[in-house]
């Protein structure tokens, strides 16, 4: 099982590969607010654990195992953002909240949250009803 830190790196590498076609140590360090040496150490660990293939001075790519996990991690992140949006969390709090909770939920919980988001998004009236409840409880 990857640690939360490993998940953050895999998710970031996946996002960079999707958006730029490559992921550099400096890009990862900047995105995760860590030193490049920390990225290099983690990349070596992810290579050892089979999540990516790393060649010193040449770069790295995600393995199929890393790619599959990266896709799942991005799904989890986006799903939690959607969930918090649906339940009416202030948009300026959503990213920080997702970062705080995403590693603490089981995949079973993530799947049930996915079901709930689908339920609400299937009928806009459901979201309106939920927002009415939220607004009336805030008064």
Tens digits of per-residue pLDDT, 63-120? 999 999 999 999 999 999 999 999 989 999 999 999 999 999 999 999 999 999 999 9
Record the pTM.
Answer: 0.86
Please tell me whether 102 is known to bind a ligand: yes
Please tell me whether 11 is known to bind a ligand: yes
Lowest average pLDDT, out of 21-25, 31-35, 79-83, goes to 21-25
Please tell me whether 85 is known to bind a ligand: no
Please tell me whether 8 is known to bind a ligand: yes
Residue 52, SS3 per DSSP:
strand
Tens digits of per-residue pLDDT, 90-105? 999 999 999 999 999 9
Please tell me whether 77 is known to bind a ligand: yes
Asked whether the CA dihedral 125, 126, 131, 137 is positive or negative, the reply is: positive
């Amino acid at each position: 099982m990857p640690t939360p830190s490993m998940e953050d790196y895999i998710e970031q590498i996946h996002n960079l590969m999707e958006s730029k076609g490559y992921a550099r140590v400096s890009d990862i360090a900047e995105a995760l607010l860590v030193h490049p040496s920390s990225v290099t150490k983690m990349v070596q660990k992810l290579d050892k654990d089979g999540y990516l293939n790393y060649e010193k001075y040449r770069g790295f790519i995600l393995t199929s195992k890393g790619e599959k996990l990266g896709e799942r991690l991005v799904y989890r992140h986006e799903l939690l953002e959607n969930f918090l949006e649906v339940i009416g969390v202030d948009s300026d709090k959503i990213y920080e909240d997702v970062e705080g909770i995403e590693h603490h939920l089981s995949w079973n919980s993530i799947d049930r949250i996915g079901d709930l988001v689908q339920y609400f998004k299937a009928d806009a009236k459901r979201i309106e009803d939920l927002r009415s409840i939220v607004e009336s409880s805030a008064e």
